Chains A and B, each alone.
Chain A
Amino acid sequence: MARALDLRGRGDGADRAFRGLAVGAATVVLVVLGLIAATMTRRALPVLEHMGPGFFTSTRWSPADEEFGALPFVWGTLYTAAIAIVIAVPVSLGVALFITQLAPQRLKRPLVYLVDLLAVVPSVVFGLWGILVLSPHLGRSFLTAGIILAIMIIPIITSLSREVIETTPQPEKEAAYGLGATRWEMILASVWPHSKGGLVGAVMLGLGRAMGETIAAALVIGSALGQITVDPLAPGNSMPAVIANEWGEADELHKSALIALAVLLFIITIIVNLVASSIVRRSMARTAGRRT
């Protein structure tokens, strides 16, 4: 900016060194992501050469016969995440609406803390509770995993929804009340049209989180091999759960197959997250533009 009028006598060298340090730190992000993509793909190649396209289409996963079909686990990942979303979305939206529209001022902050507290509980603790307390009643199944995942993604969906809902302009809410709307009608008429886009994004970020969650799912999903079924009470398996459960006794090709699963999971979650955050950002930018 002020290059022409540079009154600084010293420190230019130090300035440049510090800038270099900062740029270097920022570059680490790119290096790590690049390394993840490169090294993981390389390790996944052996199984892809062994199985060909069958890796993505076969439903048979039998490490002993060197058969690795990933489809059942892709199905399990999507299915458990879907169950989690179906449970978590109404609850999260209800809590977000309660905090922003209904709760008295004094109650707002404790409620936010309560939801945040849920986010602090490590996933392995939910998994422990799921396997030793919940699954003796429910069995180990897609549904049990879905319930545990739902509990885990409720905090993120709730806090994002709360932020989105809070951007609803006060005049729009007052306009609805002024026309004689009840609170619920005001929510339908003012809050919902305003927040729709952002809420969809929040739900998708929750979906991405649910698909990548490993440990809790690994403990309660049941570890069935090659199951593609819509029965929620059937034991199943998901990509991260297979990786966590089978890694210990995997040989070389088997490890390569598990790494290939990780690459696939990586790609799917990145796509979901990118779509989600672009939706959130667009809706946030739109509402910000409308307010000024």
Chain B
Amino acid sequence: MSLAPVTSAIDLAAKPSWRSVKNSIASGLMAAAVLAVATPLVLVLASVIAKGAGVAFHDFPDFFTETVPIVSRRAGPGMGPAILGTLLVTGVATLIAVPLGILGAIYLHEYGARQRFARIVRFMAMVMTGVPSVVMGLFVYVTWTLTFGYSAFGGALALACLMLPVVIGTTEQMLKLVPDHLREASFALGAGKARTILSIVVPAALPGIVSGALLAVARAAGETAPLMFAVGAATAYNGHVFGGANTALSVQIFGNATSSFAAAQDRAWGAALTLLMLTFLVTLVARIVTARVQSKR
């Protein structure tokens, strides 16, 4: 700039003023924020993979099939019962919460709409979304576990309570996206309301509903607090949904994380890797479902 003599009265070239410096600083800070988010994610994933992979894949598939050592200071696999427990508890919770949630959303959007009862339910579902998971766990302990004892089903009840409002919310959003002319066309052909909803509206919204439900499942599979009070801490396989104490990956991670024995901590890392792979897998499937729908439209 110092080379070319500035003669023009109107110089349109941008000069590095304090204003543009401020702009650059702000942009730099925004980029720094992205780095600040990426850093813990990378650090956590790196730790889990670095410390978990050796444990989980040593003598494959022992870690995924062997029972949990009763003496936690003993080294060695496995997390088999916890994997089964997580699948059982999450699976049963899904069987309870997803149909209920979809039906509830159908009521809210297709029947209730702006009626007072629908508004109350919508509001309460929002309140329910905010209930801390530890409160749900204690609630299930008080109403179920005190009477029937530890079981996978108790944990499933707690998770279902957490999932229900989420499924209702995402399903209602998806039903809103179904254009009204589809419903009208169905009515015009003489279909009743239930028929219209079940064979026209829900199929049209299904991919979105499925993807929303899968995200809720992924979140639920990683929950710990609601399971601690209701599921118990078994170390052996228990395939019964209603009978006896069970265990779950998240509960095992929590228990072993507080242990001072290296062997237990190792198992916690292995279980964390297993749980992460499980939740990422479910999330990935949900993403693929969503992407498919978006590319179709």
- A residues near B, CB below 8 A? 2, 7-8, 10-12, 14-15, 17-19, 21-30, 32-33, 35-36, 39-40, 43, 90-95, 97-98, 101-102, 111, 113-115, 117-129, 131-133, 151, 154, 158, 182-185, 187, 208, 211-215, 218-219, 240, 243-244, 247, 258-259, 262-263, 265-266, 269-270, 272-274, 277
Question: Other than the known A26-B121, A30-B124, A111-B34, what 16 A-B pairs have Cβ atoms closer than 8 Å?
Answer: A15-B192, A22-B107, A25-B99, A26-B107, A32-B164, A35-B139, A95-B37, A114-B38, A123-B223, A127-B253, A187-B26, A219-B258, A244-B228, A262-B138, A273-B126, A274-B130
A36 to B222, CA, bound (A): 22
* B153-172 contact mask (Cβ, 8 Å, vs A): 1 or 0: 00000000100110010000
A111 to B38, CA, bound (A): 9
> Contact at B107–A30, with CB atoms within 8 Å?
no
B87 in contact (CB, < 8 A): no
Partner of B142, one of A127, A154, A259, A266: A259
CB distance from B108 to the nearest CB of A (A): 6
A29-B164, A214-B133 in contact; A120/B124 too (CB < 8 A)? Answer: no
A25 to B103, CA, bound (A): 6
CB distance from A18 to the nearest CB of B (A): 4
Dominant secondary structure of chain A at its interface with chain B: helix
Interface contact tally, CB-CB below 8 A: 267
Which 8 pairs across A and B sit closest by C-beta, in order of nearness?
Answer: A122-B222, A94-B33, A212-B132, A25-B103, A273-B130, A22-B107, A18-B194, A182-B23
Among residues of B, the one whose C-beta sits closest to the C-beta of A16 is B194
Contacts of B150 in A (CB 8 A): none
> Contact at B37–A154, with CB atoms within 8 Å?
yes
> Contact at A126–B254, with CB atoms within 8 Å?
no
* B238-260 contact mask (Cβ, 8 Å, vs A): 1 or 0: 00000000000010011001100
Partner of A126, one of B44, B106, B129: B44
Among residues of B, the one whose C-beta sits closest to the C-beta of A103 is B34
B268 in contact (CB, < 8 A): yes
> Contact at A247–B164, with CB atoms within 8 Å?
no
A120-B279, A243-B138 in contact; A90/B131 too (CB < 8 A)? Answer: no
Partner of A184, one of B26, B101, B221, B229: B26
CB distance from B55 to the nearest CB of A (A): 13
> Contact at A122–B34, with CB atoms within 8 Å?
no
> Contact at A36–B257, with CB atoms within 8 Å?
no
7 contacts between A and B (CB under 8 A): A27-B121, A30-B124, A94-B34, A114-B41, A125-B222, A129-B43, A184-B27
Contacts of B23 in A (CB 8 A): 182-185
